[in-house]
Structure 1
Amino acid sequence: GERVFQSREHTARSRKIEDLRRLREEEIIRSLVHELNDRCGHNTRFLLVIDTYEKVPPEVDEWLVKTFLLGCDEDIDFDLRLIISGRHALKDCNRHWQEEFGDWILPLPVAPFTREETADFLARRRPDIQDPETIEAIYRHTGGYPLWLSLWAERGLGPEAFVSVKDLQTMEERLAEGVVGDPQHREWLRRAALFRRFESRDDLALIIDRDTDAAYDWLTHQPTLVEGRERFWKLHDIPRNIFLVSFFARSPKEFRRLAGNLLRHYQARLAPPWEEWRPLNRRIPLSVDDLKAYLPDIGYYRVLTDGGVGEVFVDMVLRTADKSPEAAEALLAAGLQALEDLKMEIPPELETVRALLTAPTGKPDPQVVNRLEQSSQWEKFSDYQKAIYWNLVGECFYVLDSYQKANEKYRKAVTIEPEYVYAYFNWGYSLANLGRHEEAIEKYRKAVEIDPRYAAAYNNWGNSLAWLGRHEEAIEKYQKAIEIEPEDYWHYSRLDDLLVELGRGEEAIDRYRKITERDPDSARAYKQWGNLLTRLGRHEEAIEKYRKAVEIDPQDAWAYSDWGDSLAKLGRHEEAIEKYRKTVEIAPQNAWAYRRWGDSLAELGRYEEAVQKYQKAIEIKPDNYWYHSRLDDLLVKLGREEEAINRYRKITERNPDSAWAYEQWGDLLTRLGRHEEAIEKYRKAIEIDPQN
């Protein structure tokens, strides 16, 4: 903002820099827009190109739209278009705000230079470099990224600086020239490059065993090479990469020894250790939060220690996906970053694993899942890896509602690993969705034979028994699940539903009365009690239980949301809205609360506000059928049918392979009585996903 104003020729001279610092962000942006207007003159179109070539989070992209474009729309008197380029953040062009602002923005994925483009770049910038081997070495070391190529071309390094271990040392020495003269300091930098970040002297002692205090004091006072954050230090990316690659090339044995120290350091933070949860006859006894917190560092240093991707790393990625695909993705991303840092190629089988992990997120692309099924890369896996691979492919088919295909994959998994407890559980769940409950029960029985403490298997076993009308047996299984996991109130919920169905609601109520007598501070018990009373239609009593739950735990967002639902069922929508507002204050990503908030606003006739809440729910959960349906119904009621239709037109323009969007579009047209058009949309959905 200061630079913008300093460059202005009219008002900037009259403003003091101190005044500019006090300007709010929006005022700076508006002033920038006025500046653009002034300089454009009679131009009718203005392109603003923003380079986000390195990694940026989605919040940056959202800022460009919601703060910059939306914030100053009224001030723009010319046709502004925004082009955002990036190899990471916008590669998939999947931003929720694009539905509203997509016409203003062109997300432009930018790939690194190819070998041919690298040669062309060097021919123009460095005509002295013509040897094919040297050009290949430059391409390999820089990854083809323009930033790296420009950096070394501008510094005037000779061709020899790009090849051999000696030349890596030359790159390192030239980088440090004029900054680091002491060989001891250079050695500290080389070792510190192993760290993604270090927090203390004790961390440094893992790789610098002599003069650790002096090393820490010196490293943390080198702003040109080392940056400090709130709680940690790290080398700047470019010098770190140079020192890291140089160290790996010149002393691979020592490099791997020190990386091993860091690997053991981070492994010690995760309990139980990997060796205890590797076997497939066990469930993973770790929370998703712990996996996400600790595995990326473990994965990164596993690759550095192994000097590449070894079997243990692939085992760990696939096994983690059994518990959480998101945690497995984070682990894989750390390993891929280690490969990139070492300038190593990604093995083809790891690309297959990457495709597998991204497939189950949301609603997978059927074409991607079919490719995974037919891929030959899995043949290179060990039997352990193959079993997990087929289980995960089965999960992909399950999410696509292709239960028969899912069952085939689960069968493959347990054929390879007969004690694979997760595969039996998933197989049972898939069979139950086909209504084949007797067979499902057999799979759940096998799962608890392998792991007698598998509460979720007992819970699902109870579900299948309930479907078959074997209610007393079902109650027994639910009670077993509760006995194993008394803190998991999902098991209580299933038992409550069945008791209410059997007219034994008081029996369920008495259970919560006893629980809260034993543990009067159990907020979850009071919330579950409230949910039970809600199912019995006793909303005033339910409200009292929710009130008690939030007295004990004021941060229980779902208790507020459930409280709001009970109020809404009593027609007390203004009060319900206050509870939904409190829910999203605590949990801003609670899409359900936004959807129910929209319902209450619609009941009060505040339709525009309701539309906004439904849109927010969709922004958080873009694939949720019911949120889209709620918004469509309201727009139709308001006579804004074309606006509803145009939403799907935009979605399918951005993502032409979105089967669910075509299906939803067809549902909307059906509600409007436009059946011929609806048929075309359903036909398109089935072309994309024949299993739908």
Structure 2
Amino acid sequence: MQLSHNEEDNFSLDRFESMLKTNDILFFDSNEFENIIHHYLENGKISLAKKAVKMSLAQHPTSVNLKLFKVEILVFEDKLDLADGILNELKELESSNEEIYIQKAQIYSKRDMHSDAIKMLQAALEITLEDAEIFSLIGMEYLFLEDFENAKYSFMKCLEADEEDYSALYNVMYCFDFLDQKTEAIEYLNLYLNKHPYCEVAWHQVGKQYFDLKEYNKALAAFDFAIISDDRFIGAYLEKGKVLEKLKRFNEAIENYNITLELEDPTSFAYLRIGKCFEKLGCDDFALKNYKQTVHEDPLLDKGWIAITDFYIKKRNYQKALYYINKAINIDEENVLYWKRYAKINSRLNFYEEAEQGYKKSLELGNYELETWIRRSDILIGLGEYETAITCMLQALEFYPGSAEIEYRLSGLFFCTNRGEKGYFHLNNALKIDSEYYIIIEELFPNIFDRKSVKQIINSYVKLS
């Protein structure tokens, strides 16, 4: 009885693994070893691949293909000099072997010598019969060089050689997107669809381009064609749902998101979008149910916690909003979006010390918006923490040197701490920038505003009533 090709491979694998367990030495021909090593590399079993390479070269020491597998493992392990030495020897023996050039290119690439890698791959192109893979590798090298035009061309050539290489199609679209060539992308996809009218990936990509161009009806048609081509294509249903949301067809959007929940394991993204749609429809109970399902599916998705928190903020139920934002912070205390809401909610609840800590944490995490500096400063002023408020405003001034809002606050703060000279200096700065904003002094520092000298300076810029 003759074994099929797959059965032969499995038989070889079983024999090899049995040999490892028993320490017996069995003979395998070089093709068997190549299939065994290839299997282990494909499945990420590097240690087993290394054992197979070692044994294979012991039995077939002159095999170029087996030596190339050894090179591949050495490159993977970053033993580049050793790998390069073997390749140089192999090139002398078999200069027409494309794999030698491909592995040479891999070494150049790992050394960040991407232009040299491209030259090696172009040399491989001249001798290969299978050029799709090499064009793909050239495209990746151009991506490393951030040469998106040449990368795009290379992936297009890859797709010409293998018209069903969807990874190449995605890479072509990535280049179009980076170059902001949406119209050109649509033209290219239409040419591709003329040859492959039922390619769901291409229709999906056309829809995304139209979505970005805000041509929602065309996007909707494209996603419908993607679904006709493959009625289990989850990505198309999700994108169609997003389009329907833009068209304010929320019930239909919910239907499409629900289909994705039925087709595969539920995703937090689908639950989140369903919640948003129900909220737009005024179905608060269903919205909240889906938001809670969102964070249940993925507690690390900040958009889920933010959706619940914002839902309660809109309802002015600040206690519940605080409860959920605290839960979110307990999961990820480095998320600046959580701390901004924490500060805002505590401020609404008149928990000023907690609010100040929230704004302080937001700043520490890199949220340098002017509003964040100002709100923290105003809370510190209300708490009588003038020195800390001064430090806060001086730091803010480094980011916003021409801000009247900061200058007025610094003026009032310096007057409050009996440093009149600095107070007058910052007051004059503020009035020069925007004299109408003097009301900041009036509202935050009424006692300072009532001073005769202060009113005189303000009067020199604007007539007080």
1:61-98 deviations in whole A, cap 9, x for unaligned? xxxxxxxxxxxxxxxxxxxxxxxxxxxxxxxxxxxxxx
Q: 1:55 is matched with which residue?
A: none
Q: 2:163 is matched with which residue?
A: 384
Q: TM-score, normalization: structure 1?
A: 0.37
What is the Cα deviation at residue 307 of structure 1? 3.4
Q: 2:203 is matched with which residue?
A: 424
Task: Report if aligned partners of 1:425, 1:444 keep a CA contact under 8 Å in 2.
Answer: yes
**Within the alignment, does 1:600 sit opposite 2:372 as a pair?**
yes
Tell me the secondary structure at the aligned position of residue 248 of structure 2: coil
Q: Which protein, 1 or 2, shows the higher relative CO under an 8 Å CA cutoff with sep ≥ 6?
A: 1
In structure 2, what is the Cα distance between the partners aligned to 1:567 and 1:425?
39
1:155-189 deviations in whole A, cap 9, x for unaligned? xxxxxxxxxxxxxxxxxxxxxxxxxxxxxxxxxxx
Q: 1:532 is matched with which residue?
A: 308
Q: 1:455 is matched with which residue?
A: 234
What is the Cα deviation at residue 548 of structure 1? 2.9
Tell me the secondary structure at the aligned position of residue 54 of structure 2: coil
What does 1:238-257 correspond to in 2, within 5 Å?
Answer: 238=81, 240-250=83-93
What is the Cα deviation at residue 500 of structure 1? 2.0
The code of the aligned residue for 2:284 comes to G
In structure 2, what is the Cα distance between the partners aligned to 1:346 and 1:459?
40
Task: Report if aligned partners of 2:109, 2:117 keep a CA contact under 8 Å in 1.
Answer: no
In structure 1, what is the Cα distance between the partners aligned to 2:179 and 2:95?
46
Task: Report if aligned partners of 2:245, 2:253 keep a CA contact under 8 Å in 1.
Answer: yes
What is the Cα deviation at residue 442 of structure 1? 1.9
Q: 1:77 is matched with which residue?
A: none
Counterpart among 221, 236, 240 of residue 442 in structure 1: 221
Aligned CA distance change for structure 1 residues 428 and 635 (closer, same or farther; 3 Å): farther
Q: 1:471 is matched with which residue?
A: 250
What does 1:216-615 correspond to in 2, within 5 Å?
Answer: 235=79, 237-238=80-81, 240-250=83-93, 306-309=99-102, 333=109, 344=120, 346-347=122-123, 353-354=139-140, 357=143, 369=149, 378=157, 381-384=160-163, 392-484=171-263, 487-512=266-291, 523-524=299-300, 528-537=304-313, 538-549=317-328, 551=330, 554=331, 556=332, 560-570=335-345, 571=347, 573-577=355-359, 580=362, 594-595=366-367, 600-605=372-377, 606-607=392-393, 609-610=395-396
Aligned CA distance change for structure 1 residues 203 and 394 (closer, same or farther; 3 Å): closer
In structure 1, what is the Cα distance between the partners aligned to 2:326 and 2:280?
26
In structure 2, what is the Cα distance between the partners aligned to 1:372 and 1:495?
38
Aligned CA distance change for structure 1 residues 375 and 452 (closer, same or farther; 3 Å): closer
In structure 2, what is the Cα distance between the partners aligned to 1:444 and 1:471?
17
1:548-594 deviations in whole A, cap 9, x for unaligned? 3455xx4x467x4342131233345433246548xx9xxxxxxxx52
Task: Report if aligned partners of 1:447, 1:457 keep a CA contact under 8 Å in 2.
Answer: yes
In structure 2, what is the Cα distance between the partners aligned to 1:491 and 1:577?
32
Task: Report if aligned partners of 2:207, 2:220 keep a CA contact under 8 Å in 1.
Answer: yes
What is the Cα deviation at residue 209 of structure 1? 1.5
Tell me the secondary structure at the aligned position of residue 595 of structure 1: coil
What is the Cα deviation at residue 243 of structure 1? 3.6
What is the Cα deviation at residue 476 of structure 1? 0.9
What does 1:5-154 correspond to in 2, within 5 Å?
Answer: none
In structure 2, what is the Cα distance between the partners aligned to 1:472 and 1:435?
20
In structure 2, what is the Cα distance between the partners aligned to 1:355 and 1:211?
32
Aligned CA distance change for structure 1 residues 380 and 430 (closer, same or farther; 3 Å): closer
The code of the aligned residue for 2:196 comes to E
In structure 2, what is the Cα distance between the partners aligned to 1:244 and 1:451?
45
Q: How many residues align?
A: 313
In structure 2, what is the Cα distance between the partners aligned to 1:211 and 1:375?
36
Aligned CA distance change for structure 1 residues 424 and 526 (closer, same or farther; 3 Å): closer
What is the Cα deviation at residue 346 of structure 1? 3.5
Aligned CA distance change for structure 1 residues 473 and 429 (closer, same or farther; 3 Å): same
Q: TM-score, normalization: structure 2?
A: 0.51
Structure with the largest fraction of helix: 2
Task: Report if aligned partners of 1:568, 1:600 keep a CA contact under 8 Å in 2.
Answer: no
Task: Report if aligned partners of 1:561, 1:580 keep a CA contact under 8 Å in 2.
Answer: yes
In structure 1, what is the Cα distance between the partners aligned to 2:396 and 2:286?
39
Q: 1:209 is matched with which residue?
A: 55
1:365-402 deviations in whole A, cap 9, x for unaligned? 8xx64x77789983994152798666644444444544
What is the Cα deviation at residue 427 of structure 1? 0.9
Tell me the secondary structure at the aligned position of residue 372 of structure 2: helix
The code of the aligned residue for 2:194 comes to T
The code of the aligned residue for 1:561 comes to V
Task: Report if aligned partners of 2:397, 2:403 keep a CA contact under 8 Å in 1.
Answer: no
Q: 1:78 is matched with which residue?
A: none
Tell me the secondary structure at the aligned position of residue 452 of structure 1: coil
Aligned CA distance change for structure 1 residues 206 and 406 (closer, same or farther; 3 Å): same
Aligned CA distance change for structure 1 residues 504 and 350 (closer, same or farther; 3 Å): closer
Aligned CA distance change for structure 1 residues 388 and 465 (closer, same or farther; 3 Å): same
Aligned CA distance change for structure 1 residues 471 and 574 (closer, same or farther; 3 Å): same
The code of the aligned residue for 2:342 comes to L
Tell me the secondary structure at the aligned position of residue 342 of structure 2: helix
Name stretches of at least 5 consecutive residues in structure 2 with no aligned partner: 1-43, 59-75, 126-134, 348-353, 378-391, 407-432, 434-465
In structure 1, what is the Cα distance between the partners aligned to 2:53 and 2:343?
61
Tell me the secondary structure at the aligned position of residue 405 of structure 1: helix
Q: Structure 1 vs Structure 2: percent identity of aligned residues? A: 17
Task: Report if aligned partners of 1:459, 1:491 keep a CA contact under 8 Å in 2.
Answer: yes
In structure 2, what is the Cα distance between the partners aligned to 1:309 and 1:452?
39
Aligned CA distance change for structure 1 residues 408 and 355 (closer, same or farther; 3 Å): farther
What is the Cα deviation at residue 598 of structure 1? 7.0
The code of the aligned residue for 2:52 comes to L
In structure 1, what is the Cα distance between the partners aligned to 2:108 and 2:251?
45
What is the Cα deviation at residue 529 of structure 1? 4.8
What is the Cα deviation at residue 639 of structure 1? 11
Name stretches of at least 5 consecutive residues in structure 1 with no aligned partner: 1-197, 213-231, 257-302, 311-328, 585-592, 613-630, 641-671, 673-692
Task: Report if aligned partners of 1:448, 1:454 keep a CA contact under 8 Å in 2.
Answer: yes
Aligned CA distance change for structure 1 residues 561 and 498 (closer, same or farther; 3 Å): same
Task: Report if aligned partners of 1:597, 1:610 keep a CA contact under 8 Å in 2.
Answer: no
Task: Report if aligned partners of 2:275, 2:286 keep a CA contact under 8 Å in 1.
Answer: no
